[in-house]
Amino acid sequence: MLNKILVTGGSKLKGEVSISGAKNAAVAIIPATMLTRSKCVLENIPNISDVDVMLDILSEIGADVKKIDSTTISIDTSNVNYPVIPYELSKKMRASYYFLGSMIGRYLKSTVSMPGGCELGVRPIDQHIKGFESLGVEVAVNHGMIDMKTNKLIGSHIYFDVISVGATVNTMLASVYATGVTILENVAKEPHIVDLANFLNSMGANVMGAGTDVIKIHGVSELHGCNYAIIPDQIEAGTFMMAATATGGDVIIKNVIPKHLESISDKITKIGGSIEEYNDSIRVIGPNKINKLNIKTLPHPGFPTDMQPQMTALLSLAEGTSVVTEGVWDNRFRYVDELRRLGALIQVDGKVAVVEGVDTLKAAPIRATDLRAGAAMLIAALTAKGTTEIEDIEHIERGYEDIVYKLKQLGASIEIISQDPVNQILKSIPRNTPQVG
Ligand code: EPU
């Protein structure tokens, strides 16, 4: 793709922005619809390419996926016969491995292509396999495919050695139909884990404790369809909070759950911003000068790794030197070279970045090396002197609905440039705009 985003820095963001549904909840809940043969209606679905990929996989394997309105879809998997999810489909997205958990629940077997490598470092799936095997599943890897089968899923007590969002999701999906009780210990506690549990319970599952360290699941014999609204995206909200702070703006961020944003709000307050919390919105007022801060990312409720690049971009403008430690991924500082091109002074040693604040960043051509790195580039560019050109923006489109449009509404000088004239027109229309006629 030859699309680029052009940002001319210097505008303080002002006004209101509405947050879309949570990507990481949607990509777990969409494959979970395979656990029932009845129809599910999902509301507050974000219009992002990662969701498109998950829905494409469902359509390809024979599910009836219908768009009801711009953020609501219905999914009916009653006609899906036992499918294999081939490499061509699963390579587009790592989270396609959630079909392992939902299909073993439905068919007592599943075959999904092994996820490949990734820009964030080594991504083992040993904890997923530990979860499946504990429930009585045989797991084998043949020619790049993960083959799983069992005669019967049996409830079990599983202690995860590593806190993993993906392993927690996959084991929850596999255990809703397991006979007896399954106890999952040392699980992820992210808001999307709670959202998945709520969705499964809306289908008739019996999942308790999501959001704490221990999840208890009483197996059931059948799940039914349901209507379910996905939670707002914590990381999209956090990204706008950082953008407001970085530009010294004043933004009301609507359709959020302020409790999910506490670790982010706390850090913004520490660096000099001010936060006002309301029932389902939050106001962020950026400071005149940004204070330095030492920060370490941790699983929820710690500061999210998915906000680390955005925070590093912000701290590159702080007064003094900050230390950012990545506590989840092995390799999440690749984007730092791009920030350096804008004049940021950052040294990286393994999982630690030392960020020496500078007065201003200066525009340069840069790349979005991954999704959250792309968000960091946008934040840096919004503050930089001159016009920054950001390439490889398809990474940003994976997880941020209409971000260019939303930033423009807040007063940013930003546009998408496409080499393809038809695409150019389409890009100027927000994906979520209600269609006339
Ligand atoms: N890990 C293992 N063994 C496993 C699984 C994970 O050692 O079997 C390790 C990983 O290598 C990593 C740590 O555990 O060091 C955490 O990985 P986790 O499994 O929690 O990550 P994930 O499920 O693959 C999800 C999000 C990521 C987010 C992480 C951490 C989705 C689809 N993805 O990934 O989101 O960074 O949790 O919070 O939910 C993003 O949205 O930009 C993104 C990368």
> In whole angstroms, what separates CA 6 from the centre of its chain?
24
Q: Quote the tokens at residue 164.
A: 């993993």
What is the model's pTM? 0.95
**Closest by Cα among 348, 323, 322 to 335:** 348
Query: Could you write out the three-class secondary structure of 34-101?
Result: HHCCCEEEEECCCCCHHHHHHHHHHHHCCCEEEEEECCEEEEECCCCCCCEECHHHHCCCHHHHHHHH
Over residues 43-56, the mean pLDDT reads 96
Residue nearest to atom 33 of ligand 1 (CA): 24
CATH code for the part of the protein at 23-229: 3.65.10.10
Q: Which of 123, 133, 171, 187 to mutate to test the pocket of ligand 1 (most atoms within 8 A of CB)?
A: 123
* Pairwise CA distance, residues 59 & 42, whole Å: 15
Looking at the CA of residue 169, tell me the nearest atom of ligand 1. Answer: 23
Instruction: Give every strand in the sheet of 281-285, ordered side by side.
Output: 14-18, 250-254, 281-285, 274-277
Q: How confident is the model at residue 123 (pLDDT cuts 50, 70, 90)?
A: confident
Residues flanking ligand 1, CB < 6 Å: 24, 27, 95, 122-128, 162, 164-167, 188, 305-306, 328-329, 371-372, 399
* CA–CA separation, 277 and 241 (whole Å): 12
CA distance 352 to 362: 24
**235-265 tens-digit pLDDT:** 999 999 999 999 999 999 999 999 999 999 9
Q: Where are the domains of the chain?
A: 2-20+232-419, 23-229
pLDDT at position 72 is 98
Q: Look at residue 425 and tell me whether its pLDDT is greater than 90.
A: no
Find the mean pLDDT for residues 293-304. Answer: 98
Correct CATH for 2-20+232-419 of 3.65.10.10, 1.10.357.10, 3.30.2320.50, 3.90.550.10: 3.65.10.10
Nearest in space to 47 (alpha carbons), one of 69, 28, 16, 79: 69
Query: Which residue lies with its CA nearest to atom 5 of ligand 1?
Result: 125
> What's the CA gap between 310 and 246, in Å, rounded?
10
Q: What is the mean pLDDT of the chain?
A: 94
The pLDDT of 289-303, averaged and rounded, is 98
| 167 CA distance to ligand 1 middle (Å) | 9
HSE (side-chain half, CA atoms, 13 Å) at 420 = 7
For residue 213, report the distance from its CA to the centre of ligand 1, in Å. 17
* C-alpha angle 338-121-192 in degrees, rounded to nearest 5: 95
What pLDDT is attached to residue 418? Answer: 84
pLDDT of residue 90: 85
List of residues 6+ apart from 143 with CB closer than 8 A: none
Percent of the chain with pLDDT over 70: 94
**Alpha carbon of 179 to ligand 1 centroid (Å):** 28
Which residue's CA lies nearest to atom 37 of ligand 1?
165
**Which residues share a beta bridge with 113?**
145
pLDDT of residue 436: 30
Ligand 1 center from residue 429 Cα (angstroms): 33
* CA 165 / ligand 1 centre spacing (Å): 6
Degrees to nearest 5, angle at CA 14 with 313 and 322 = 20
Q: Are 136 and 70 in contact (CB under 8 A)?
A: no
Residue with token string 């730092």: 336
Q: Is 50 exceeded by the pLDDT of residue 437?
A: no
Q: State the burial class of residue 283 (Cβ atoms within 10 Å of its Cβ: 0-12, 13-18, 19+).
A: middle
Instruction: Say if strands 227-229 and 206-208 run parallel, antiparallel, or are unpaired.
Output: unpaired
CA angle 293, 297, 301 (to 5 degrees): 110
Looking at the CA of residue 130, tell me the nearest atom of ligand 1: 8
Q: Is 226 marked active-site?
A: no
Average pLDDT over residues 17-21: 98
Residue nearest to atom 31 of ligand 1 (CA): 24
For the chain, helix, strand, coil in percent to 5 are 35, 25, 40
Q: Which two tokens stand for residue 282?
A: 């939050």
pLDDT at 434 over 50: no
Can you tell me which residue has the tokens 């991954």?
Answer: 370
What is residue 316's DSSP assignment? Answer: T
The pLDDT tens digits for 362-401 are 999 999 999 999 999 999 999 999 999 999 999 999 999 9
Calpha distance 196→25 (Å, rounded): 7
Q: pLDDT digit string (tens) for 322-344? A: 999 999 999 899 999 999 999 99
Residue from 14, 21, 124, 103 nearest 58 by CA: 103
Note whether 271 and 35 are within 8 A (CB). no
List the catalytic residue out of 118, 141, 208, 429.
Answer: 118
For 137, other C-beta atoms within 10 Å of its C-beta total 24
DSSP structure class, residue 179? B
Residue 160 near residue 130 (C-beta atoms within 8 A): yes
What is the distance between the alpha carbons of residues 37 and 63, in angstroms, rounded to a whole number? 10
